[in-house]
Amino acid sequence: MSLSTSDLSVGYQRDVAVLHGLNLDFSRGQVTAILGANGCGKSTLFMTLLGILKPQSGEVRWQGRPIGYGKKELRALRQRVSMVFQDPDQQIFYTDVESDIAFALRNLGMSEAVIASRIEQALALVDGTALKTMPVQYLSHGQKKRVAIAGALVLEADMLLLDEPTAGLDPAGRSQMMALIRRISESGRRVVVSSHDIDFIYEVCDYLYVLSKGHLLAEGTRREVFLQPDMLTRAGLVQPWLVRLHQELGYPLYESEQAFFDSARHAHGKQHKEAV
């Protein structure tokens, strides 16, 4: 599974670029982040990766070859690389969950037995089995997001592009999304997440690209990127709170909130025993 860009520049007008000479390789991490402030070009990049937009120069490469823009080539690409939009209402069209998830498979002419099996697997992966027969109008925003992801997973794509997956979610929905992305990556698929939710990115992604006004400002692992406060400021971003605890107060650099609180509880329990 290899998706990459080579000297990619993209714009909506002939002489005005939104993305500038990007060289990105999404095989460097299991869950890769495209990080930046609003307007940095994240959504434009995703649409270009799917062939919705064509580059002004450079190219998108899938499995080492430049993607084609004919109907047949794009259809084949989008079976292997699926995208879930920020607003799930943009890609949910049927009135019930099962029919919506089955839509793409029926278009491909798959048997009803295969379709039923794939729907069960996709819904199980997003913890949405109970949603199968529900009318879409009764779903919460977070449930719709999970259904939209199931609709992408049902194609058994190798790579999933998630545009602002935490947008509009409450804290419980955000935690569910975090767990969902981990399950998807553990299933062997690669995930690319576009977001400016710094703390979410810190916990779920293992390789990051930071964009600023369409330019690549930095790349690397979480530690390599988030230990650069000046660069993050230039990108209109801030450090995750766990990284700030480390740099400003001298705490260990914890990998997750859970690790931090587990350590804090352990230290508190130890102090309590010593006091007794």
Label residue 39 by pLDDT band (50, 70, 90).
confident
- Determine which of 55-59, 132-136, 218-222, 240-244 has the lowest per-residue pLDDT on average: 132-136
Q: What percent of the chain has pLDDT over 90?
A: 67
Decide if pLDDT at 224 tops 70. Answer: yes
What is the Cα–Cα distance from 33 to 29, expressed in whole angstroms? Answer: 9
| Better pLDDT: 231 or 92 | 231
- Residues 194, 45 contacting (CB under 8 angstroms): yes
Residue tagged 């194609």 (tokens): 155
pLDDT at site 90? 86
Q: What is the dihedral of CA 119, 143, 169, 163, to 10 degrees?
A: 30
Residue 261 exposure: Cα atoms within 13 Å on the Cβ side: 3
Query: What is the average per-residue pLDDT within 218-243?
Result: 95
Decide if pLDDT at 30 tops 90. Answer: yes
Label residue 88 by pLDDT band (50, 70, 90).
confident
Give the global pTM: 0.90
pLDDT at site 270? 65
Residue tagged 């949603």 (tokens): 131
* CA angle 218–190–11, rounded 5-degree value: 50
Label residue 273 by pLDDT band (50, 70, 90).
low
pLDDT at site 206? 95
The pLDDT tens digits for 136-178 are 989 999 999 999 999 989 988 899 999 999 988 889 889 999 9
Decide if pLDDT at 83 tops 60. Answer: yes
Local structure of 4: helix, strand or coil: strand
Label residue 243 by pLDDT band (50, 70, 90).
very high
Decide if pLDDT at 272 tops 60. Answer: no
E-strand ranges in 11-138 read: 19-25, 31-35, 57-62, 65-66, 81-84
Decide if pLDDT at 9 tops 90. Answer: yes
The pLDDT tens digits for 189-200 are 999 999 888 999
Decide if pLDDT at 14 tops 70. Answer: no
Residue 225 CB-density burial (10 A; 0-12 exposed, 13-18 middle, 19+ buried): buried
- Residues 162, 156 contacting (CB under 8 angstroms): no
Length of the chain: 276
- Residues 149, 180 contacting (CB under 8 angstroms): yes
Residue tagged 């049927």 (tokens): 94
Give the burial string for 245-275 (b: 16+ CB within 10 Å, else e): bbeeeeeeebeebeebeeeeeeeeeeeeeee
